[in-house]
Amino acid sequence: MTNKQRVVVTGMGVVAPNGVGLQEFTQALRQNKSGLRFDSELKKFGFSCQVSGRPPISNEDLWSVIPESHRAAFNSTGIAYGLMAGLEAWRNAGLQVDPPTRDPDSGIVFGTGVSSVSKTREVAYTIDEGKVRRLRSNTVPQTMSSGVAAYLSARLHLGNWVSSNSSACATGTESILLAARRIQSGQAKRMLAGACSDAGPYIWGPFDALRVLNRHHNDRADEASRPLASDASGFIPRSGAGALVMESLDTAKARGARIYGEILGGAVNCGGQINGGTMTAPNPQAVQECIIGAVKDAGVIPSEIELINGHLTATAMDALEVQNWARALEYDRNTFPVIHSLKSLIGHTIAAAGAIETVASLIGLQNQFVFGNANADILHPDVLEWVDKSQIPLKSLSFPHQTVIKANFGFGDVNACIVIRKNTSDEQKRNHG
Amino acid sequence: MNRKEITDKLYNIARPYVQQKEALEDFSMDTDLLRDLKINSANLIDIVLDVEDEFGVSIENAEMELMINVRSVVELLENKLDAK
């Protein structure tokens, strides 16, 4: 095998609950702006958790990204968010949407937890009414798991590996790692990675039924998502998409592309749903192995890591996660780096979480700031056993840093972790000088 | 409904699915749906559903296979509307 190619990020796109598009999202992060709202539809359906909402965009604007021949009866918010974020990332990288030719060196790994639940519901009702022949031609791509990758490739004509991964809340981070591996090995020069998640009661309902959502802040939406807080009692389900254009360093340099940062390495594994691991809870040893594996693969030492962008959903598992970070990287209260959770601002975007959160980390690296942990003003005592209070910023702060570690953990006891570094100084000089 | 009204409605139904938009300028009875307008065969399904809704008719699978050019669709619809 040839030498491992270095993998850099050259484009980003995002559709998040607190901002649509990079510009709006960056501003929201700088202002520590929450994207959470009271959701009257959830109240109507009798949900315990009535805080949620969607990225601030009308369905009319959202459907405008769908090819005209597929737009009639389109009902897949997740695919549309993914398409919007993916096309933004592609353009942001200085690449052409709707190019005249197929590009065999570029591919897509764009994940999702489910295809459109709303469309699937429609299909079931239509068939139950005996009207199967009334299903339109866009029904299959909206209900297949790889629908988002298929719609992206319809606009980008990419000819390398095009697929959708699925690993619950680890999907976004996993997509980035899968794409990075493809480039590292020389099998592709460029990959579009990312993940998306549908909006609405039909995808969030099963989580509400599991009683894992916060039902205590329905009248105070801004305060509803409380990672690391003493009274964290459940997550807030949200939707959206994040996307990254990743290239081999050589490919990016050859075309003079702007480089946001480098994916140094990462790891995925599974806790096997044993030794503390279950369908919904992580096996701590496996989480630690995943983190250690990522750091080793990236070729960094724990003291180089300046920022942890955690999974931290605002459940009783937050303290366990902090303990896992500390044990894996041998941190104590004096050495534990700065830690934060984007979920304090936008809630948990399920499968899209890792992708949106990685975009947030790259924006932070580029602009040298950290967004704050809203609502963590009274920290959980078990968290404080491992981290000094000063390492948990409550507001967005200027923060010089080079290296971030990002992890997500999902249902099925699956783990994914990546290490990201700001672009090196010589590349920076070339791009700005 | 006269032939021109049927043709105009058909034009509007087909338009979103036409991949060769320039070919719409020469939209006539002899326009071939797949060859001239480059309509994806899967989208013919959508056109049939939209035609059914617009004209209040039902189109069987065997009839669908006859829908090759504008003329064949218009004539099929004229027959169906007459029989109503």
Residues of B within 8 A of A72 (CB-CB) are 16, 46, 50
Integer angstrom CA distances of residue A326 from A273, A384, B4:
22, 12, 76
Residues of chain A contacting B, Cβ within 8 Å: 68-69, 71-72, 134, 136-138
Q: Model confidence over A166-191: pLDDT tens digits?
A: 999 999 999 999 999 999 999 999 99
- Asked if domains A7-254 and A263-425 share a fold, the reply is yes
Measured distance CA(A160)–CA(A180) in Å, rounded? 14
Q: Model confidence over A32-89: pLDDT tens digits?
A: 998 899 999 999 999 999 998 689 999 889 999 999 999 999 999 999 999 999 999 9
Domain with residues A263-425, CATH architecture: 3-Layer(aba) Sandwich (3.40)
Residues of A within 8 A of B42 (CB-CB) are 137
Residues of A within 8 A of B40 (CB-CB) are 69, 137
B42 contacts chain A (CB < 8 A): yes
Tell me, yes or no, if the pTM score tops 0.80: yes
CB contact under 8 A, A69 and B49: no
Q: Which of B19, B40, B46 sits opposite A136 (nearest CB)?
A: B46
- Cβ-proximal residues to A361 (8 Å cutoff; 6+ apart), any chain: A307, A309, A404, A406, A420
Measured distance CA(B37)–CA(A431) in Å, rounded? 46
Say what the ipTM of the complex is.
Answer: 0.91
CB contact under 8 A, A72 and B40: no
Q: Model confidence over A343-360: pLDDT tens digits?
A: 999 999 999 999 999 999
Would you say residue A433 has pLDDT above 60?
A: no
Would you say residue B84 has pLDDT above 60?
A: yes
Would you say residue A156 has pLDDT above 90?
A: yes
Residues of B within 8 A of A134 (CB-CB) are 49
In terms of CA atoms, which chain A residue is nearest residue B19? A69
User: So where are chain A's domains?
Assistant: 7-254, 263-425
Given a contact cutoff of 8 angstroms between Cβ atoms, the answer to whether A390 and A384 are in contact is: no
CB atoms within 10 A of CB A432: 7
Query: Average pLDDT, stretch A189-213?
Result: 95
Query: Average pLDDT, stretch A198-223?
Result: 93
Would you say residue A424 has pLDDT above 80?
A: no
In terms of CA atoms, which chain B residue is nearest residue A140? B42
Query: Average pLDDT, stretch A368-386?
Result: 96
* pLDDT score, position A428: 46
B40 contacts chain A (CB < 8 A): yes
CB contact under 8 A, A136 and B49: yes
CB contact under 8 A, A69 and B50: no
CB contact under 8 A, B42 and A71: no
CA-wise closest residue to A421 among A402, A399, A398, A396: A402
| pLDDT band with cut points at 50, 70 and 90 for residue B18 | very high
Residues of A within 8 A of B16 (CB-CB) are 68-69, 71-72
Given a contact cutoff of 8 angstroms between Cβ atoms, the answer to whether A182 and A188 are in contact is: yes
Residue type, B41: S
Q: What CATH number matches the domain at A7-254, 3.40.50.720, 3.40.830.10, 3.40.47.10, 3.40.50.10880? A: 3.40.47.10
Q: Which of B16, B42, B45 sits opposite A71 (nearest CB)?
A: B16
DSSP notation for B16-81 = GG-S-GGGGGG--TT-BTTTTT---HHHHHHHHHHHHHHHT----HHHHTT--BHHHHHHHHHHHH
Would you say residue A431 has pLDDT above 70?
A: no
